[in-house]
Amino acid sequence: MQRAVEFVFDVGSPYSYLAYHALPAIAQAAEAQIVWQPILLGAAIRASANHSPFEVPAKMRWVEQDLVRCALSLAVAFSHNAHFPVNTLVAMRIATGLQMRRPDNFPAWVAAAFRAMWGEGRNLADPAELAVVIGEAGLDDRELLALASDQAVKDKLRSDTDAAVSRGVFGAPTFFVGDQMFWGHDRLDQVARSLAQRGGER
């Protein structure tokens, strides 16, 4: 079987944005497949009795600085999102729906959503802004919004989030290499070692 690393993410997570930029090179070096797993982060946090660092003022101030430093180290654009926390329910339903029905369009949507949220600081909870970002991804906003309203898509995102929590996920980004779980983009060095040492077969 091909080596694999599962990437559990929500585009509303700034550290997932950083991992999105860093993980492909790690996977390529290990000749591993990235298994993309969209979840709804807010639901996972609540279900695991976790708390966002942004709920703690001192931690929030540190995170704001840390994100800038990490983005600089990766040479990626980063903009603090003035609308944060942003409700990404529809955006993540779109991601799940594309995986289910139009997987070829999934990468374009994830790239556009992450760029809009954390490269440009835009509000994906605003329906008008969301439609613009969908168009910038080269996709049809009416089709994707209809997809996000499909009950099967809603159920899949919910069940995938529940399944992630049952595996121990309490935040994003989270990575799985086999049965090993790693949390946080700053654990990607450990992900790389696990892929190299154990093969990460799935």
State yes or no: pLDDT of 142 exceeds 70.
Answer: yes
Please report which confidence band the pLDDT of residue 202 belongs to, taking 50, 70 and 90 as the band edges: very low
| 95 Cβ contact partners less than 8 Å away, ≥ 6 residues apart | 11, 38, 106, 109, 110, 113
Following CA atoms 102, 150, 46, 36 in sequence, which dihedral angle do they give, to the nearest 10 degrees? -10
Residue 136: CB atoms within 10 Å: 14
Per-residue pLDDT reduced to its tens digit, 49-95:
877 766 778 877 888 899 999 999 999 999 999 998 899 999 999 99
Active site residue 149: no
CATH number reported for the structural domain that contains residue 104 in this entry: 3.40.30.10
Give the structural domain span for 114: 3-198
State yes or no: pLDDT of 44 exceeds 50.
Answer: yes
Please report which confidence band the pLDDT of residue 200 belongs to, taking 50, 70 and 90 as the band edges: very low
Query: What local confidence, expressed as pLDDT, does residue 189 receive?
Result: 96
- The DSSP symbol for 85 reads S
Q: What domain count does the chain have?
A: 1
Query: What local confidence, expressed as pLDDT, does residue 125 receive?
Result: 96
Q: Which residue has the tokens 């599962």?
A: 6
Among residues of the chain, what percentage have pLDDT more than 90?
84
Instruction: Measure CA 62 to chain center.
Output: 21
Per-residue pLDDT reduced to its tens digit, 83-133:
988 999 999 999 999 999 999 999 999 999 999 999 999 999 999 999 999
How far, in Å, CA of 162 to CA of 164, rounded?
5
How far, in Å, CA of 2 to CA of 199, rounded?
8
- The DSSP symbol for 51 reads -
- The DSSP symbol for 104 reads G
Is 184:16 a contact under the CB 8 Å cutoff?
no
